[in-house]
Amino acid sequence: GEFEAGISKDGQTREHALLAFTLGVRQLIVAVNKMDTTKWSEDRFGEIVKETSNFIKKVGYNPKSVAFVPISGWHGDNMLEESPNMP
């Protein structure tokens, strides 16, 4: 899927995390978008949190201090107000 492409060796997600850390960004919030396409799957959200946590730890971030927020930009879910659809 799109997440796998972004986190792959040449993916933009990896590049952006590394660039942010290199430039001195020490606080990170990860918005996990397109949750609507997974029918708000808690399992899929968990997979993405796990894989992303493993990667950002290698970059230098402490995954325990990073907020992971499930959202749907298309529907506006969980962006400004808490959504009942989210895992």
21 belongs to a structural domain: yes
Residue 54, domain extent: 2-70
Q: Which pLDDT belongs to residue 85?
A: 86
Q: What predicted TM-score, i.e. pTM, was given to this entire model?
A: 0.86
Domain-embedded: residue 78: no
Which segments of 1-87 does DSSP mark as H helices, in order? Answer: 2-7, 12-22, 42-59
Q: For residue range 16-42, list pLDDT tens digits in order.
A: 999 999 999 999 999 999 999 999 999
Question: What size, in residues, is the chain?
Answer: 87
| Helix 12-22 × helix 42-59 angle, to 10° | 40
- Is residue 84 included in any domain, yes or no? no
Average pLDDT over the chain reads: 91
Strand partners, 72: 77
Is the pLDDT score of 3 beyond 90? no
